[in-house]
Amino acid sequence: MKLELANTADITLTEPEWALLLLADPSREAVQAYLRDCLLLRALDTEDRLLGLALLQLTPASTHIQAEVKNLAVHPDHQGQGIGKWLLQQCQTLSREKGLDSLWIATGNSSLAQLGLYQKCGFRIKGIVPDFFAAYPEPIVENGILCLDLLLLACPLAEI
C-alpha cells in the first residue's frame, strides 16, 4: 500500500473519490464546505487502485495548534484490512511533523466501528454536540441506531 498526497485546492475529485467521501459523510454540501481547506491522503494498492482516503485539515485553531481529520473512508471491498487505521496513523504522523499539538476527529453516535477504531488509535472523547445530525435532510441510521449526536475525539500527538 502506498500513500499519495494532494492539496484539495489544486485538484478535481474523481467520482470514486466522491463516492468514498460520501460513505463517511452523506451530505455532499457538508463535504464541499470543508473540502477546499484540506490535504487529501489517498491509500492506493500496488496497481494504483484507490482503497481509501482521508481529508486532513492542518490549520491553527484558537490558542492550540491542532489538526482535524474531516473525512476518513475505505472502499467497502477493502474494509477490515487495516487501511482505515493506516490512513489515520498517516494523519497523526503528518500532523506531528507539522508541529501540531493534537489531532481531532468527529463521528456520529451510531458509528460504532469508527468509534472503536479511533479509540484504538489513541483518541479520547472530548465532547458531544447534541442533535448535530438532526438537520441533515435524510436520517442516518447505522447499526440500528438513529444518528443524532456528534462525538468529538482528540489525540494528543505528543503521546503517540
CA distance 29 to 96: 30
For the chain, how many residues are written?
160
Q: At what angle do helices 83-97 and 112-120 cross, to 10 degrees?
A: 50
Q: Residues 6 or more apart from 55 whose CB is under 8 A from it? A: 8, 21, 34, 35, 38, 39, 40, 41, 69, 70, 71, 72
Tens digits of pLDDT across the chain (160 residues): 999 999 998 999 999 999 999 999 988 998 999 998 899 999 999 999 999 999 999 875 555 678 999 999 999 999 999 999 999 999 999 999 988 889 999 999 999 999 999 999 999 999 999 999 998 888 999 999 999 999 999 999 987 7
Cα gap 34→32, rounded to integer Å: 6
Whole-number pLDDT of residue 66: 85
**What is the separation of C-alpha 71 from the centre of its chain, rounded to a whole number of angstroms?**
3
C-alpha cell at 75: 472502499
> In the prediction, which pLDDT does 6 show?
95
Please tell me the predicted confidence (pLDDT) of residue 60.
Answer: 59
What is the distance between the alpha carbons of residues 115 and 105, in angstroms, rounded to a whole number? 10
Domains of the chain: 2-156 (3.40.630.30)
CA distance 110 to 144: 8
* Residue 91: all three cell numbers together: 494523519
Q: Which of 52, 64, 56, 120 is nearest to 91 (CA)?
A: 56
Task: State pTM to two decimals.
Answer: 0.91
pLDDT of 63: 52
